[in-house]
Chains A and B, each alone.
Chain A
Amino acid sequence: MTPWPAKHLTADDLDAFHSEALTKEMQLHLETCEDCRYLVAADRELVELLGRLPVLEPQAGFVDRVMTRVTIAEPVPVPVLSFPRLTRSRVGGLLAAAAGICLSVAWSATNRAALDGWLIAAQSTAVDSVTALAQATMANLAGQSWYESARQIVGSPLRTAVVVAASGVLYLTGIVALRRLITPSGPVSNARA
């Protein structure tokens, strides 16, 4: 990079000049360089001319003309979070619910053995039901006419590998097809402000 004061003024230096942020080196260069002095003077004249350009006005009644085409916004209601009003019946309901919870806790604490018995019975019933459902489903599956053929197909590791690979290919083909279906065909234009 050429050092000051030998190098000429750049566009940024001209900006610095207009904002009166001229460095000593730039000043020194300006004293010796006629081209840059001319550039600065011309640029200063131009900036002054631009700054003196008149403000232009639209014809009278512009505000009214615009207002005929503007829809005055309805004020957006600000949601206010508030508790429902406490009526006598609501207070009664709340107190009853609180009392119910307290009684329930107290009863559970004093009748622990009975509560455990009920829970264990309910748990064992649920497990028995799920096991019975699974056994019935498997028995039903094994009773189907195609079950034996399907078992033979996956009976050897090689055949199993072939079936898994074919299923994978089928799955990927389906994904690709679906992606093509949901991708838009043309570019989407963007609205501008």
Chain B
Amino acid sequence: MPIRPGSLRDKTDQDVVALAKEGEEEAYRELIRRYERPVFSLIFRMVRNRELAEDLSQETFVKVLNAVQSYRPEFKFSSWVFKIANNAAIDHIRKRELDTLSLEGSPHADTPELIEATALQISERGESQLDEVANRELGGTIERAIEVLRPEYRACIMLRHVEGRTYEEIAEILNLPLGTVKTYIHRARNELRILLREVKDE
């Protein structure tokens, strides 16, 4: 009997993966739904291009789901997904340096429709319009500051302070020694503090 859409919400990742291994399509869809936002957010903040982030996110999920049979349950599923997402982003960055960011839309969009179509969709969190504007300004500043960081620092800082991963998990995801992860995060925070201070002083 096929699984009803949405009925897997309360299951753990391991349970959903086990169902995916049995060939349940709904389990595949549930895994994508669980991680589409964090994976897309991480990749977008790494590559700073919406279309590219979509492509790389798709690549990530296709890779993960096509290899789901080889997934070993002793590892955290989320760490595996983020590892592949980070590798996809880093590989791309290494191939091509990207230097543009637009929260408001693609820099190549020259009509209001195109600008809106390529603008980032930020999920609602029940904030008032005033709060949203204030947060957008602060968010824009920090987004631009993150953009200046080295890709390795960017990945570490996003995983630690946006995704809330532990140092140990980040070390596993990025395949780095624990000490290096700590150093990267502290250096990234130092750089971000300096950048934010400069913005405030302006």
Check A56–B40 contact: CB distance below 8 A: yes
B143 contacts A by Cβ under 8 Å: yes
Majority SS at the chain B contact face: helix
Check A53–B32 contact: CB distance below 8 A: no
Q: What is the bound-complex CA distance between A96 and B53, given in angstroms?
A: 73
Against A, the Cβ 8 Å flags (1 = close, 0 = not) of B14-49 are 000000111101001100110011101100110000
Against B, the Cβ 8 Å flags (1 = close, 0 = not) of A12-45 are 1010000000000000000000000001001101
Instruction: Tell me the chain B residues, 74-90 only, with Cβ under 8 Å from chain A.
Output: 83-84, 87
B65 contacts A by Cβ under 8 Å: yes
Instruction: Tell me the chain A residues, 35-78 only, with Cβ under 8 Å from chain B.
Output: 39, 42-43, 45-47, 49-59, 62-63, 65-67, 69-76
A193 contacts B by Cβ under 8 Å: yes
Q: How large is the interface on A (under 10, 10 to 19, 20 to 34, 35 or more residues)?
A: 35 or more
Check B58–A69 contact: CB distance below 8 A: yes
CB within 8 A of A54: which of B22, B54, B58, B139? B139
Check B122–A56 contact: CB distance below 8 A: yes
Check A56–B41 contact: CB distance below 8 A: yes
Q: How many residues of B contact A (CB 8 A)?
A: 51
Measured between beta carbons, the chain A residues less than 8 angstroms from B135 are: 52, 54
Instruction: Tell me the chain B residues, 82-121 only, with Cβ under 8 Å from chain A.
Output: 83-84, 87, 91, 120-121
B155 contacts A by Cβ under 8 Å: no
Contacts A42-B193, A54-B122, A55-B41 given; does A63 touch B62 at CB 8 Å: no
Check B143–A53 contact: CB distance below 8 A: yes
A122 contacts B by Cβ under 8 Å: no
Check B58–A46 contact: CB distance below 8 A: no
Measured between beta carbons, the chain A residues less than 8 angstroms from B25 are: 67, 72
CB distance from B36 to the nearest CB of A (A): 5
B196 contacts A by Cβ under 8 Å: yes
CB distance from A44 to the nearest CB of B (A): 10
CB distance from B114 to the nearest CB of A (A): 14
Contacts A56-B121, A58-B36, A62-B36 given; does A51 touch B54 at CB 8 Å: no
Measured between beta carbons, the chain A residues less than 8 angstroms from B141 are: 49
B68 contacts A by Cβ under 8 Å: yes
CB distance from A14 to the nearest CB of B (A): 8
Measured between beta carbons, the chain B residues less than 8 angstroms from A12 are: 182
Check A70–B62 contact: CB distance below 8 A: yes
Q: What is the bound-complex CA distance between A142 and B54, given in angstroms?
A: 84
CB distance from A68 to the nearest CB of B (A): 10
Contacts A67-B28, A67-B32, A71-B66 given; does A46 touch B193 at CB 8 Å: yes
Check A73–B20 contact: CB distance below 8 A: yes
Contacts A63-B33, A193-B83 given; does A73 touch B68 at CB 8 Å: yes
B186 contacts A by Cβ under 8 Å: yes
Q: What is the bound-complex CA distance between A51 and B41, given in angstroms?
A: 13
Q: What is the bound-complex CA distance between A62 and B136, given in angstroms?
A: 25
Check A76–B57 contact: CB distance below 8 A: no
Check A74–B23 contact: CB distance below 8 A: yes
Task: Please name the residue on chain A nearest to B84 by beta carbon.
Answer: A193
A88 contacts B by Cβ under 8 Å: no
A182 contacts B by Cβ under 8 Å: no
- Known contacts A70-B62, A193-B83; 4 further A-B pairs (Cβ under 8 A): A53-B41, A62-B32, A62-B40, A193-B84
